[in-house]
Structure 1
C-alpha cells in the first residue's frame, strides 16, 4: 500500500518513459492462447481480509481460466506493486488509493487503470499508541508507518487535524511486520498500520483514530485493483473473468459469512472468528455497487473515486509528496469503467 521512488526506480521510470507514453507497459505475457486468453495472468496480492483472498483460496480464477497459468505473488505494500507494474512483472495488483494517486501522477505516470475497489478502508487501518491519550500527545514521539501508503496518508491527515506538523513527530518508514517487531522491542511510540498487524498492536496499545474516523472528515482511503493498460486492452475477456470472480467473492461474504471467513482465515493464518471480525472492518462492494456514482461510476459518468484521488493528490502536493496535481480528467481516465461495465452486461 505504498510508493517509494528510490533512485533505482527513478532510473527505471526514466528509461521506460523514453519508450512509452506511460510506465508499466514494458512487458507482455506472451502471444496468448487460441481462445484469446493469456498464457499467464500474474497477480500481485496483499494480506488484506477482502475478496481477493477468497478468490485466491478458492482457486476460482484457475477454474475459470483453465488454459491460463495463474501466478499469485505476495507484496507487502502498494508501492512495491507499483514498482512491479512499472517493471512489467505484474498484470493485476492491489494498491491503496494513496500509491495509486501517486502512480497516476508525475513522475510515475504508470500505464494502468483501476477496474475494481477491493474495499473502502475503515477500522482495519488505525493509529495506535503505547501511552499517548491523544494525537496531540504524540508530539516529539516516534511513529512508524509504511511510507506513501494509505496509512502514511492517513497519519499525515490525522496529525494535521490535531494541529501537529509532520516535523513535530519523528515518522519512521517500516513495513507492517517490521512495525510489529519494533513495537515489541519498544523502538517506537505509535504506529499507523493495517490488519493483521494492527490487531496485534491493539492488544497492548490504544487506538487514537481510525481511517473510518478520517473518512468521516473527508479523507477517504481504499484498497484498489490496478491493471496494466496493455493487458486490459489485449485480454478484455480475461479481465472480465477476473472482475466476475471478485464479485463472486463479495456475494459469498454476504451469503455465507462462515465460508468467507474460513477462506480468509486460511490465507491469513487466523481463526475464522478473527478473520470474520477483520472482514467486518471493511466496506466491501459488489459489481453493481462499484458502478454507482459514489464509486467507479459508468462510462457515461465516472464516479466519485476520481474526485477522491484528485483530492488525495492535492493533499499529497500540500505535503510535498508529489510534484504537481494532475487534472481531474487524468483520474477519470484512470478508472476502467468501460471494462467494469462490460464484465456485468450481456
Structure 2
C-alpha cells in the first residue's frame, strides 16, 4: 500500500514539474509575416495551420507586409516571429544586425524572375543594357540576378543606371517607357508578359538559384523549436498539395492578390513549391550572394550567413 502511495505521489510531482515545462514549449500566439503573393499567403487562406494550432490552444496572427525587407524589419523588432522571403532580404537583414535564423528553403526557382524589355525594344541581350535605365527593387532577389547577368555579359553594375522602384511603380515606369528594362519576379513577371507583352532578355537559369527562405527570429526559434518545426512541416505538406492542385492554388492566390487566375496559372507553371531543411550547400550559395552585394557596395559590411544557422534538433 505504501509503495502505491509513493508511486502516486511521484506521479503527481512529475506531472506538476513537466506540465509547466510542456506549456512553455508552445507560445500562446504565433505571429507570421506574409506578402499577398507568397507561400505564407497560401497557408493563411487555406487555413490548415490555424486549424492545427487551434487544437493545441495556439492562435495564429497574420501580419501583411508589402515586401521582404519590411517584413524582416518586423522580424527584427519582434512584431512577427516567422517570415518567408527571397534570397537577398535575409542578407540585408543580417547586415543590419537582425538576429534571425534560416529554418528552411524552397526548391530553386530560377525561371520565376527575369530581366524584361518592351516587345519592340532594340535590346536583345544583357550586353545591350550598357548605358540603359533598369528598374528594380533595391535589395531584392532580382538585384542579385541583375548583378550576375551583367557580370556574365562582361559588364559591371556601374555600366547601367539602376532605377530603384517597388513593383507597382516600376510597372508604371515600364509601361510609359521611362525605363529601358525591368528586373522582376512572379507573379508580376507573368502579369507584364501577359498584359504588356514584355519580352524576356534573361531569366535566372544558370545564373542564380533563387530560393524562398523560411525564417524565424532566433529568440522565437530557440524558445519554441517544436512550434517552428511544425510550421516548416505544414509548409511542406502545403507545398505537396499546391504542386498537385495548381488550378486551386492559382484561384486562392488570385483572391489574395487581385491578379486574374490565368496570370497565376502562368506563374505557378514555373514555380515548384517545397520546404526543405537548410544544407551546407545552400548556405554556401547564400554566402556567395552576400559577398557579391558587399563587393559592389550595396551591403555596408561583410555578412557571415552561417551565423544565422539553426538546428531543429535543438529541442
Q: CA RMSD in A?
A: 2.5
Distance 1:161 1:223 in 2: 24
Larger Rg: 2
Aligned partner of 1:314 in structure 2 is: 291
Q: CA deviation at 1:273?
A: 4.2
Aligned partner of 1:248 in structure 2 is: 237
CA contact (8 A) 1:52 1:249 kept: no
Aligned partner of 2:27 in structure 1 is: 38
Is 2:53 the partner of 1:65? yes
Distance 2:227 2:170 in 1: 37
54-63 or 269-278, which moves further after superposition? 269-278
Distance 1:249 1:94 in 2: 14
Q: CA deviation at 1:191?
A: 0.6
Q: CA deviation at 1:272?
A: 4.1
SS at match of 1:62: helix
Is 2:54 the partner of 1:80? no
Aligned partner of 2:310 in structure 1 is: 336
Q: What do residues 233-264 of structure 1 show as CA deviations (whole Å, max 9, x unaligned)?
A: 12223212211210111110233333333333
Q: Aligned match of 2:256 in 252, 255, 267?
A: 267
Q: CA deviation at 1:145?
A: 0.4
Q: CA deviation at 1:35?
A: 7.0
Q: TM-score, normalised by structure 1?
A: 0.76
Q: Aligned match of 1:124 in 90, 93, 112?
A: 112
- The 5 Å alignment of 1:15-164 reads 34=23, 36-48=25-37, 51-66=39-54, 67-104=57-94, 106=95, 108-130=96-118, 131=121, 132-164=123-155
Q: CA deviation at 1:119?
A: 4.6
Kindly report structure 1 stretches of 4+ aligned residues shifted beyond 6 Å: none
CA contact (8 A) 2:30 2:58 kept: yes
Q: Would you tell me which structure has more helix in proportion to its own residues? A: 2
| Count of aligned pairs between the two proteins | 289
Is 2:170 the partner of 1:193? no
Distance 1:110 1:77 in 2: 16
Structure 2: state its 5+ residue gaps.
Answer: 1-19
Q: Aligned pair in 2 of structure 1 residues 231, 186: CA closer, same or farther (>3 Å)?
A: same
